[in-house]
Amino acid sequence: MDNVSSGSQERNSLERLINEAERFVAGKREQIKLALVALLAGGHLLLNDVPGVAKTRLARVLAGLIGMSFARIQGTPDLLPSDVTGGLIYEPQSGQLSFRPGPIFHHVILFDEINRATPRTQAALLEAMEERQVTDSGQSHPVPTPFIVLATQNPIEMEGTFPLPEAQMDRFLLSFGLGYPDLQDEREIVRRFSHTDEVKDIVAVWNPEQVTQMMKDVAEVRLDDTVLTYLVDVVRATRQHPMIRLGASPRAAVQFARAVRAQAYVAGRDFVTPDDVQALAVPLLAHRMVMGVEASVSGSTSAEIVRSLLHTVPVPVEDVQ
């Protein structure tokens, strides 16, 4: 009975947060859910879209509703690695050097226009994103838990940018765009936010301890062997497609398994279905693949190819419930 009551409370808590987030980011319910999937799976998020479609707002709302610390880093060519991670400073009182944490030492990091930062500064993120720590002068400094990096890119303006390397792209659990709102949602956005920015008055629905517990619950979501095999088959299919020069890595398969558990959890289930695999295939796999020359000539995108692969990989028909 306690487990049923606890599950009902978690379900209500999830619904409340999603509803509150949609109040601040109108018409983006599915994208809000995907952001929660990334958070609860312990992953990071890359938002690839044009300016003005609420990428920054989504990060601010997520941090505010969860009651976690938030930092925004603006990607520019003159941004140094120490501007992100921090570094040693001289303390006149003690006459010694001490480590001063940079903005990376917050729960939620918005790295705006990450591809405008130099490769050296981009690389400064790798250790924190993968190992949840920053090493400086031989000393390791852990970042807070939970920890999520939400980075943005503008796919239109490419002048003066530094494309993220494959190793960096592989660190992002999910990547997607928010897109323009439909007519009704855009009218609501203008009506609601033309006089004031309500994000400043946001009230936390969760706290970091709740998020940590939910992440533990996500890890217990059941992933049956039939669905696991299907998931791995989808990942391996990306390495066999003639238009893909470099398919998804085994790390992608491991992160895929974490993400589908979180997807099922956000949907209110304690087991994963093939539908969860299909729902996350594009935002999880497409950004990790390197396209071949044939794809460039034909104009095929990685997202289109992932969708086509889902039609070729056999779907398990066993009842996983």
pLDDT for 11-39, tens place per residue? 788 999 999 998 888 888 999 999 999 99
Separation of alpha carbons 106 and 145, rounded Å: 9
* Distances from the Cα of 300 to the Cα of 11, 38, 231, 303, angstroms: 39, 27, 23, 8
pLDDT exceeds 90 at position 191:
no
From the CA atom positions of the chain, what is the Rg in Å?
A: 20
Contacts of 224 (CB under 8 A, 6+ apart): 271, 272, 318, 320
Residue 278's pLDDT is what?
A: 97
Separation of alpha carbons 172 and 47, rounded Å: 10
- Average pLDDT rounded to a whole number, residues 264-293: 94
Domain ranges of the chain: 11-79+106-193+204-210, 220-321
pLDDT band at 180 (very low <50, low <70, confident <90, very high): confident
pLDDT band at 10 (very low <50, low <70, confident <90, very high): confident
Q: What is the CATH number of domain 11-79+106-193+204-210?
A: 3.40.50.300
Residues 307-316: contacts with CB within 8 Å, 24+ apart?
307/281, 307/282, 309/234, 309/237, 309/238, 309/241, 309/281, 310/234, 310/278, 310/281, 312/237, 313/230, 313/233, 313/234, 313/237, 314/230, 314/233, 315/230, 315/274, 316/226, 316/227, 316/229, 316/230, 316/274
Instruction: Return the CATH architecture of domain 220-321.
Output: Orthogonal Bundle (1.10)
The tens digit of pLDDT for each residue in 81-133 reads: 999 999 888 888 888 888 899 999 999 999 988 999 999 999 888 889 989 99
pLDDT band at 7 (very low <50, low <70, confident <90, very high): low
